[in-house]
Amino acid sequence: MSDPTAAPTPFAKVLTCSDGVVHGTREDRSGAALVAFLREHGFDVVDHRVTADGTDNVATMLREMTDGFAGVVVSTGGTGFAPRDQTPEGTRAVIEREAPGLAEAMRLCNPLGRLSRGIAGVRGQSIVVNTPGSTNGCVEQLGAIIDVLPHALRLLNDTDTSH
C-alpha cells in the first residue's frame, strides 16, 4: 500500500541542444547522462528530445515541451560563448519568471561553471534549467540543485509543502 502523505514522483524532460547531434556527427552523451541522473534521483523522465542550436530552435522546442507539463525541463548544450550557443536566449524568450538562485547555484559547483551562461526559470507549471553540453558539466550542475527541485515543483504547482 502506498503512503498517501508521500510526495508524488516528480516528472522531468530533457532537451539536447546541439547542431552536431542533430546532424549525426556527435553522440548525445550529455542528454543520456541527464536522463540517467534524473532517474537515479527519483524523477520520472517522460521525454528526451534533440534540437539544433539557435534561439528560435530552442524556444520552439521549450514551448512544446512545457505546454501543459508540470515538471522540470533540463536542457544540455548551447550555454557557452560560441556564436551558435544561444540556449539561454531561447530559454529567456519562453520563461515567464527567472529563478536566478538555481542558475547561481549551478555555476558555483565548479570553477568552469563560471563560463556557463545558462539560466533557470518558470513557464506555466514547469521549471526550465540550462546545463552545459559537457557530460560531466551537465550532471555536475544539475546535481547542485537536484535536491531542491521536487520542493520547487510542489511550490510551483501549489501542492502542500507542510510549511
Segments of 91-148 assigned E as strands:
97-98, 120-123, 126-131
Predicted local confidence at residue 161, as pLDDT: 54
pLDDT band at 6 (very low <50, low <70, confident <90, very high): low
Considering the domain 16-154 in this protein, what is its CATH number?
A: 3.40.980.10
Predicted local confidence at residue 54, as pLDDT: 96
Predicted local confidence at residue 158, as pLDDT: 83
Share the mean pLDDT of the chain: 94
Percent of the chain with pLDDT over 90: 88
Radius of gyration for the alpha carbons in the chain, expressed in angstroms and rounded:
15
Q: What mean pLDDT comes out for the span 116-136?
A: 97
Other CB atoms within 10 A of residue 122 CB: 16
In the block, cell 527519483 appears at 42
DSSP secondary structure code for residue 8 in this structure: P
Segments of 30-82 assigned E as strands:
44-51, 71-76
In the block, cell 551562461 appears at 117
What tens digit of pLDDT does each residue of 42-84 get? 999 999 999 999 999 999 999 999 999 999 999 999 999 999 9
Distance of CA 6 to the CA centre of its chain: 24
What tens digit of pLDDT does each residue of 75-104 get? 999 999 999 999 999 999 999 999 999 999
Q: What mean pLDDT comes out for the span 129-154?
A: 97
Predicted local confidence at residue 47, as pLDDT: 98
Q: What mean pLDDT comes out for the span 153-163?
A: 77
54 and 90 Cβ atoms separated by less than 8 Å: yes
Predicted local confidence at residue 109, as pLDDT: 92
The answer to whether residue 128 scores a pLDDT higher than 90 is yes
d(CA 21, CA 52): 8
pLDDT band at 150 (very low <50, low <70, confident <90, very high): very high
In degrees and rounded to multiples of 5, residue 84 shows phi and psi of -85, -5
